[in-house]
Amino acid sequence: MANIILIAGTYHGGWYWEPIIPALTNAGHRVFAPTLSGLASSNPISTKINLDTHIDDVLRIVEENNLDDVVLVGWSYGGMVITGAAARITTKVQKLIYLDAQLPKPGEREWDLIPEHEHEMFIGLCKDGLNLHPDAGMLTYEPRMHPHPLATKLQPLNYDQVKFNSLSKVFVFAEKWFGDPSVLSPIKRSYDNATKDPGWRTHSWPNGHDLVREDAQKVAEFLVAEAASPVP
């Protein structure tokens, strides 16, 4: 049995994982799907929340539940969070699974991983100077989206690369981003870095970025198999 912690992406909460949680628990795993600080309400809070805050959210789950054999799963922005968390609790982590997720190098911000031509778009979504607000199109696509703290995108993630390299790591790349073949996925760089590193196992799926929404069964079966497989 593994203790699986699922971390969703920008604007999303623990609700994102609802379609796959039953399959994971039925396989005997204990599952945690937190909604990270600042993402639980459509009324954004004004206190400062940064990447460290979200990493601490994960560490709190581990500490309060006295967890070992932890499988950290991150989707999209969630890759930033699980990278930082794993670097701080290396001995408790069984495996890291990146589901089309950001993979920063030490000292990088997610802002550094976002294509420059999208920076202005994100700035335009920051109406209050603290939070990125999903626009009307995003809310039509997924009404449960909530404002996301901007500082989580701007804080560099510093971690020990040597400790991180010792962990078992898996990367799944979604080839179609959001279905437009003319748009280069901003996750492609992270995937390429993982494929060049012998410490990773990588997969490329003919799916779009929103993996759980597009094929929950495929994601669930993959995570069940990975959680049960021995660490190399």
**Which residue is catalytic, options 41, 46, 76, 229?**
76
CA distances from 18 to 6, 24, 38, 67, 76 (A): 10, 10, 20, 22, 17
d(CA 47, CA 205): 39
Strands (E) across the chain are located at 3-7, 30-32, 70-76, 93-101, 131-132, 148-149, 169-174, 200-205
Amino acid at 201: R
- 42 labelled catalytic: no
Amino acid at 224: V
Q: Is 184 exposed, middle or buried (CB count within 10 Å of its CB: 0-12, 13-18, 19+)?
A: exposed
Phi–psi pair at 45, nearest 5 degrees: -80, 155
CA distances from 8 to 17, 66, 124, 185 (A): 8, 22, 23, 18
Give me the active site residues, please. Answer: 76
